[in-house]
Amino acid sequence: MATKIPVTVITGFLGSGKTSLIRHLLQNNQGRRIAVLVNEFGELGIDGELLKSCQICPEDEVQENPENTNIFELTNGCLCCTVQEEFYPTMRELIKRRDSIDCIVIETSGLALPKPLVKAFRWQEIRNAATVDAVITVVDCAAVAAGTFASDLEAIAAQRQEDDSLEHETPLQELFEDQLACADLVILNKTDLVDDQQKSEVVEIVKNELPREVKIVSSDYGKLDPSILLGFESAVEDNLDDRPSHHDTEEDHDHDDEINSTHVILDRTFDPEKLQETLKKLAEQKEIYRIKGFVAVANKPMRLVMQGVGTRFEKFYDRPWKPEETKQTRLVFIGRDLQSSEIESELVAL
């Protein structure tokens, strides 16, 4: 175990706060040399850019020597579907650099199943050099409290007992449960958005989906000490039988065909408040799970990060625009049956 690179897999649904958690980890790495592999659903890499702007790696050094960056982006599909095409070559490159890496953190897409990714660590070339230290599942406490991925637990249990063949769960609920079932640690994020009773209800919902004893910790904006996240030594790839999945009996699996990612790029500035109101209306009108991206604001030298889960939004300035950058507004939308032309027309009308 000591000779292998420990790998921490960060999973969790869209907008749960995985990127914020990793960004805080990088900024408080306590001397650890951490490589990060980011998997995004869609072609536009927003999360990878956010991590690169955490100011751990000097930007001028990365520009002059791109091989020095320890942040890798995979944007050609969910890792659970593209393990061989996407993940395997990147891991081989990371293994070659093992003398300069203390640990690896993988941020999966919010639509990815963790178990197929962990299975890849059984491949001989990877198994000899790396091990899954832990799977950490991040839960959006406010979203679960609002009933987004859970209903009456007692009613569901009763229905299952009466008829195992009944379909009671949406694909998103199954995904939520699979991500919890694979966890070594569950992080309840965004707890500042719920009261004590709601938080207790979410804890019960989460516990109901855990197949074994797993620690649950609370967090706001992913601000946790690295010692909580690293050093589990679970060797997850060796005990997958204890981590049940809805897809264990399938040779392959498909995501809901209607779930898609689209993006809009506009060479113009926006008033942040007006843009946010328009995006909220879009989220109400269409089935949009996640909105994230960068916004150009008039007379502002810094780039605005805007993120939304359903109709709940947050925004902050992450860094100054670079002299060579075009001040564009770039937004990614993830949901069901989304058309970029329809979304763009709404934004252009602002």
In this prediction, residue 42 carries a pLDDT of 52
Coil, strand or helix: which one is 234? Answer: coil
Q: With 0-12 CB in 10 A as exposed, 13-18 as middle and 19+ as buried, what is 305?
A: buried
Backbone dihedral region for residue 222 (phi beyond 0: left; psi -120 to 50: alpha; all else: beta): left
337 token code pair: 């049956």
Residues 10/18, Cβ–Cβ less than 8 Å: yes
In this prediction, residue 227 carries a pLDDT of 92
Give the global pTM: 0.71
What's the one-letter identity of residue 332? V
Phi, psi of 212 (to 5 degrees): -155, 180
pLDDT in tens, 224-242: 999 999 999 999 999 888 8
In this prediction, residue 169 carries a pLDDT of 46
Q: Which residue ranges of the chain lie beneath pLDDT 70?
A: 1-2, 40-69, 74-86, 149-171, 247-259
In this prediction, residue 39 carries a pLDDT of 78
What's the one-letter identity of residue 20? S
d(CA 338, CA 350): 20
Residues 334/350, Cβ–Cβ less than 8 Å: no
In this prediction, residue 156 carries a pLDDT of 39
In this prediction, residue 65 carries a pLDDT of 36
Residues 336/259, Cβ–Cβ less than 8 Å: yes
In this prediction, residue 277 carries a pLDDT of 94
d(CA 246, CA 180): 12
Helix or strand (DSSP H, E) at 8: strand 5-12
d(CA 150, CA 11): 18
